[in-house]
Amino acid sequence: MITVGVTGGIGSGKTTVCKEWEKLGANVVYADDLAKELMVTDDRLRESLIEAFGEDTYHPDGRLNRPHLIHQAFEEGRVEELNQLVHPAVARKFVEISNEAKQAGEEMVVEEAALLLNNGRPENLDLVVIVRSDREDRLERVSKRDSVSKKKVMDRDENQPDFNKLTHLADYTIENNGTLEDLRKKSIQLYHKIIQEYGGEKNSGVF
């Protein structure tokens, strides 16, 4: 089994790539979704979040108070503190999921995460793929997809790495500056290339 990390800036096309890979059989873990789940279900993480960000972190019924955390992270400038608490729980769970997938004889497990390379290249991943797209296109697409202002998307973008400076940490880069169909085709090609070549000589390249 091969473990692959897929990363890239906000709106770069990570999820689109991963959805294609899921259709081909990959088991994809979406870090943002997993983080939100663990923030509710992992008791240790809940306690540390309440300690850091107060009782308002959760609604009285136990649900995550997203507006409070978004305010703390992106308006009070405490995003790094939040990441440091959430990231270890996500990383632990990903290892657990990978181990189970290996036991089950799965072909590929993927971690889709914008912050994948924040502490360098994760040691537990066999391959890293960066999806790249021009900034203006990314801002435009996400503001359309989520019906939010470009300014809001820009705020998130500023809290993510500049992936143009991280390509040396990736085995493959997918350039997403064409149509959505182009991106889907490239994703399928890369999936087959990875499956075909894994076990042989590890290659790299730009798609």
Ligand X SMILES: Nc1ncnc2c1ncn2[C@@H]1O[C@H](COP(=O)(O)OP(=O)(O)OP(=O)(O)O)[C@@H](O)[C@H]1O
Ligand Y SMILES: CC(C)(COP(=O)(O)OP(=O)(O)OC[C@H]1O[C@@H](n2cnc3c(N)ncnc32)[C@H](O)[C@@H]1O)[C@@H](O)C(=O)NCCC(=O)NCCS
Please report, in range form, the residues annotated as the binding site for ATP. Answer: 11-16
Q: Does 114 bind ligand Y (CB under 6 A)?
A: yes
Contact in structure between 138 and 11 (CB atoms under 8 Å)? yes
Q: Does 49 bind ligand Y (CB under 6 A)?
A: no
DSSP assignment of 19-64: HHHHHTT-EEEEHHHHHHHHHHH-HHHHHHHHHHH-GGGB-TTS-B
Which residue, 45 or 116, is less far from ligand X as judged by CB?
Answer: 116
Q: Which residue of 66, 144, 192, 202 would you call a contact of ligand Y, by CB under 6 A?
A: 66
The label of the residue with tokens 């899921």 reads 22
Contact residues for ligand X, defined by CB under 6 A: 8, 10-16, 114, 141-142, 145, 176, 178-180, 183
Q: What is the chain's Cα-based Rg?
A: 18
Q: Which listed range, 21-29, 62-70, 95-103, 197-205, lies at the site for ligand Y (CB under 6 A)?
A: 62-70
Find which of ligand Y, ligand X, none residue 175 binds, CB within 5 to 8 Å per kind: none
Shortest reach from residue 192's CB to ligand X, in Å:
20
Shortest reach from residue 202's CB to ligand Y, in Å:
25
Structure tokens belonging to residue 189? 């090609």
Of residues 141 through 160, those in contact with ligand Y by CB under 6 A are 156, 159-160
Which residue, 57 or 176, is less far from ligand X as judged by CB?
Answer: 176
Q: Which residue of 4, 26, 28, 79 would you call a contact of ligand Y, by CB under 6 A?
A: 79
Among 38, 178, 18, residue whose Cα is nearest residue 94: 38
Among 100, 70, 65, 95, residue whose Cα is nearest residue 82: 70
Structure tokens belonging to residue 113? 């995460």
Q: ∠ CA(39), CA(76), CA(111), 5° rounding?
A: 40
Q: Does 48 bind ligand Y (CB under 6 A)?
A: no
Which residue, 15 or 48, is less far from ligand X as judged by CB?
Answer: 15
State the Cα–Cα distance between residues 70 and 64, nearest whole angstrom: 11
Shortest reach from residue 18's CB to ligand Y, in Å:
13
Q: Does 86 bind ligand Y (CB under 6 A)?
A: yes
* Integer angstrom CA distances of residue 114 from 25, 52, 117, 142, 181: 22, 23, 8, 14, 22
Residues at the site binding ligand Y, with contacts judged by CB under 6 A: 10, 31-32, 35, 66, 69-70, 73, 79, 82-83, 86-87, 90, 113-115, 156, 159-160
